[in-house]
């Protein structure tokens, strides 16, 4: 084999190995993303029973989340318009769930915008949330419910909601 042929053969083998490595990496990323999505899918009932009501609750000194994050929302978090009866339909709750799921990092509450935006900056929240600080600390019981959902804790423990 000549030197030129050996170089071409080595380059081809290197390209094949790089392609295998790239495809393996992509496959792993897809598996991790899928696992994260599956862990949240398992918690839809927790979301509907415990998380979604937080968006409807009036907190002292604040408006309800749904007021700013529904029909007049112009940001990354957009809830469904609340029907006249004051309760979302099953279809609307599913869409709220999908929307909220986009703002979380499964298993990582401290990296999830859904928890950081309404949290006071002094407690580690995002200082750029224009809607005020719904939660002064991470010890707030409702913030903990959101964190529990994102962490997947209730699903892992097999708890009823």
Q: What per-residue confidence (pLDDT) applies to 3?
A: 59
Torsional class of 152: left (φ above 0), alpha (ψ -120 to 50), beta (otherwise): left
Residue at token pair 């080595």: 10
Question: Percentage of the chain with pLDDT > 70?
Answer: 68
Q: What per-residue confidence (pLDDT) applies to 5?
A: 57
∠ Cα 53 93 111 (to 5°): 70
Mean pLDDT of 104-132: 90
Instruction: Tell me the HSE value of 74 on the side-chain side, using a 13 A CA sphere.
Output: 2
Burial track 73-98 (b if 16+ CB lie within 10 A, e otherwise): eeeebebbebeeeeebeeebbeebbe
The predicted model scores a pTM of 0.70
Q: What per-residue confidence (pLDDT) applies to 25?
A: 36
Q: What is the pLDDT of residues 48-92, one digit of tens each?
A: 999 999 999 988 888 888 888 887 777 889 999 999 888 999 999
């Amino acid at each position: 084999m000549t030197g030129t042929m050996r170089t071409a053969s080595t380059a081809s083998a290197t390209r094949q190995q790089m392609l295998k490595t790239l495809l393996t990496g992509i496959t792993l990323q897809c598996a991790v993303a899928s696992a994260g999505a599956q862990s949240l899918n398992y918690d839809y009932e927790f979301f509907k029973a415990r998380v979604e009501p937080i968006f409807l609750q009036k907190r002292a000194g604040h408006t309800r989340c749904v007021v700013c994050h529904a029909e007049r929302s112009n940001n990354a978090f957009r809830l469904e318009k609340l029907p006249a009866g004051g309760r979302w339909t099953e279809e609307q709750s599913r869409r709220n769930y999908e929307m909220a799921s986009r703002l979380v990092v499964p298993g990582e509450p401290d990296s999830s915008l859904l928890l950081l935006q309404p949290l006071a900056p002094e407690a580690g929240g995002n200082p750029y949330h224009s809607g005020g600080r719904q939660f002064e600390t991470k010890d707030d019981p409702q913030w903990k419910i959101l964190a529990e959902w994102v962490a997947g804790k209730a699903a892992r423990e097999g708890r009823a909601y």
